[in-house]
Amino acid sequence: MKYSFWFVVGSQFLYGPEVLETVAARAAEMAEELSKVLPYPLVYKVTAKTNKEIADVVKEANYDDSCAGIITWCHTFSPSKMWIDGFVNLQKPYCHFATQYNREIPNEEIDMDFMNLNQAAHGDREHGFIAARLRMPRKVIAGYWQDEEVRERIGSWMKAAVGVAVSRSMKVMRFGDNMREVAVTEGDKVEVQARLGWQVNTWAVGDLVREMNAVTEAEIDGLMETYQANYDMATDQIDHVRYQAREEIAMKKMLDREGCRAFSNTFQDLYGMEQLPGLASQHLMAQGYGYGGEGDWKVAAMTAILKAMGENGNGCSLFMEDYTYHLVKGQEYSLGAHMLEVCPCCAAEKPRIETHHLGIGMNEKDPARLVFEGKEGDAIVVSLIDMGGRLRLICQDIHCVKPIMPMPNLPVARVMWQAEPSLTTGVECWITAGGAHHTVLSYDVTAEQMKDWANMMDIEFIHITRDTTVESLEHDLFLSDLAWKLK
């Protein structure tokens, strides 16, 4: 889907046609200039002067799947009761851009006509009131429209809004159920469909095995060439790698046939399969599909959404699991990995295809997997949990480092990081908030984007930063619990 955003400018008839023509021309110019630098086009739609014009553009926006959100601005004054009918029906993300066409107040030129034309300071306040009065989820961005920082903030919000569009069209394919007895990977699929738009359904592992049996040797040859081009073949068990190719081809066919962007499976239900998909899942994730281990459909969908929110529609966001700590004083790190399935988008080096014994699960043969070190950089980890009656999104700031030791006998990809505000306080905060062991780790989606996304989806958002203390977090969680019971 090629997404765009609509620029809707508020005004009224009071000013006469000359002013309105100037407003329309400037708004079109601003949209065109901004589109050159924003990640998605900003399309000027209308200088709205009546209740009907606003209601009509909102209806059109709701109906058009390619419209990922509207951005409003009031060059002049726009009495905002005329926005009510449109706003109460708005189903798309909404950003109020409080800006001004001119940067400076011109000393000689300014008179009453100039002020009536350039009164965003006045108009945007009236416009902001009605959205506050209607309790609308929105993003308010203020600043001069030619400033790079302002443009970056609009672009960042656009990506979060695209995350909303992707969420509302999300389909997750589940092979098997959740790992037995695990709590945090459970959740209310009906609530999630109503709230976030996710369609989460199960397909039999037998269906996948039948699809795998129909994969041809020629198809496998083709995918093996891709593997060889992208990865170092560090195993002699080529038939094991070919088996992963067979799994990948079959899963991709089923996902694409059903329009699913994410999938989950479980090592406890591999009936009829020789290997837990490792390389297969990793290479699917590298193509933008979301994945969750042990039946974790929530992290699978979130991985696909963050990948779509990231750069170029397939940024560096990946399914991750906190595994082990390094607790040496002054050198405190979390080591993240998974049984097999770490997306190579974060690899700091060319991944190696290796085969190793995997005792957990139903593996008859040593599953092939990609092994590599994750790259350095600032990142976030994100976990969506079901609190019973509502969803909570937890986000923590982290800094990924080059793993401080080679760990030559660890047969999986690994990422090592420092958590904010420190490893131990960070762990205390994460556990206090109920964050899962599965996360989406992202190098290119920001905490502000996740906050915007949670706001647009109307779910709780918790952010653990360098300034968070356990006390402040406990207080926030207490108030949040009360607030969400009242909502």
Choose the stretch contacting Mn ion; rule: CB under 5 A; options: 4-12, 77-85, 131-139, 285-293. 285-293
Alpha-carbon gap, residue 14 to 37, rounded angstroms: 34
* Shortest distance, position 384 Cβ to Mn ion, whole Å: 15
Alpha-carbon gap, residue 93 to 19, rounded angstroms: 29
Q: Which is nearer to Mn ion, 159 or 174 (CB)?
A: 174
Q: Which is nearer to Mn ion, 95 or 415 (CB)?
A: 415
Q: Is 439 helix (H, G, I), strand (E, B) or coil?
A: strand
Q: Which is nearer to Mn ion, 264 or 446 (CB)?
A: 264
Q: Determine the size of the site formed for Mn ion (CB under 5 A).
A: 3
Q: Which is nearer to Mn ion, 86 or 293 (CB)?
A: 293
Largest interatomic CA distance in the chain: 83
| DSSP string of 142-209, one letter each residue | ES-TT-HHHHHHHHHHHHHHHHHHHHHT-EEEEES-PPTT-STT---HHHHHHHH--EEEEE-HHHHH
- Strand pairing category for 262-264 and 232-233: unpaired
User: 295 with 301: CB under 8 angstroms?
Assistant: no
DSSP at 421: S
- Count the Cβ atoms, other than its own, within 10 Å of residue 482: 10
Choose the stretch contacting Mn ion; rule: CB under 5 A; options: 58-66, 128-136, 290-298, 444-452. 290-298
Q: Which is nearer to Mn ion, 273 or 337 (CB)?
A: 337
Q: Which is nearer to Mn ion, 123 or 293 (CB)?
A: 293
Question: Taking the CA atoms of the chain, what radius of gyration do you get in angstroms?
Answer: 25
Buried b (16+ CB within 10 A) or exposed e, 342-355: bbbbbbeeebbbbb
* Shortest distance, position 396 Cβ to Mn ion, whole Å: 18
Interacting residue with Mn ion among 123, 293, 344, 426 (CB under 5 A): 293
* Shortest distance, position 475 Cβ to Mn ion, whole Å: 31
Q: Which is nearer to Mn ion, 178 or 449 (CB)?
A: 178
Which amino acid, 24? A
Alpha-carbon gap, residue 303 to 94, rounded angstroms: 24
Positions in 303-332 near Mn ion (CB under 5 A): 321
Choose the stretch contacting Mn ion; rule: CB under 5 A; options: 20-28, 276-284, 293-301, 311-319. 293-301
* Shortest distance, position 482 Cβ to Mn ion, whole Å: 33
Alpha-carbon gap, residue 276 to 288, rounded angstroms: 20
* Shortest distance, position 298 Cβ to Mn ion, whole Å: 12
* Shortest distance, position 363 Cβ to Mn ion, whole Å: 16
Q: Which two tokens stand for residue 124?
A: 């945007």
Q: Interface with Mn ion includes 336 (CB under 5 A)?
A: no
User: 336 with 322: CB under 8 angstroms?
Assistant: yes
- HSE-up (13 A, CA, CB side) for residue 274: 16
C-alpha pair distances (Å), 443 with each of 156, 381, 454: 14, 9, 18
Q: Which is nearer to Mn ion, 336 or 426 (CB)?
A: 336
Q: Which is nearer to Mn ion, 10 or 293 (CB)?
A: 293
* Shortest distance, position 211 Cβ to Mn ion, whole Å: 25
Q: Which is nearer to Mn ion, 321 or 397 (CB)?
A: 321
* Shortest distance, position 399 Cβ to Mn ion, whole Å: 23
Q: Which is nearer to Mn ion, 80 or 281 (CB)?
A: 281
- Count the Cβ atoms, other than its own, within 10 Å of residue 319: 28
Q: Which is nearer to Mn ion, 277 or 293 (CB)?
A: 293
C-alpha pair distances (Å), 94 with each of 194, 272, 329, 359, 411: 20, 48, 46, 50, 46
Which amino acid, 88? V
Q: In this chain, which residue has its C-beta nearest to Mn ion? A: 293
Which amino acid, 446? T
Choose the stretch contacting Mn ion; rule: CB under 5 A; options: 69-77, 241-249, 288-296, 471-479. 288-296
Q: Which two tokens stand for residue 161?
A: 């809004």
* Shortest distance, position 342 Cβ to Mn ion, whole Å: 11
* Shortest distance, position 278 Cβ to Mn ion, whole Å: 13
* Shortest distance, position 299 Cβ to Mn ion, whole Å: 9
Alpha-carbon gap, residue 260 to 478, rounded angstroms: 37
Give residues with Cβ within 8 angstroms of 207, minimum separation 6: 254
* Shortest distance, position 435 Cβ to Mn ion, whole Å: 14
- Interface residues with Mn ion (CB under 5 A) are 293-294, 321
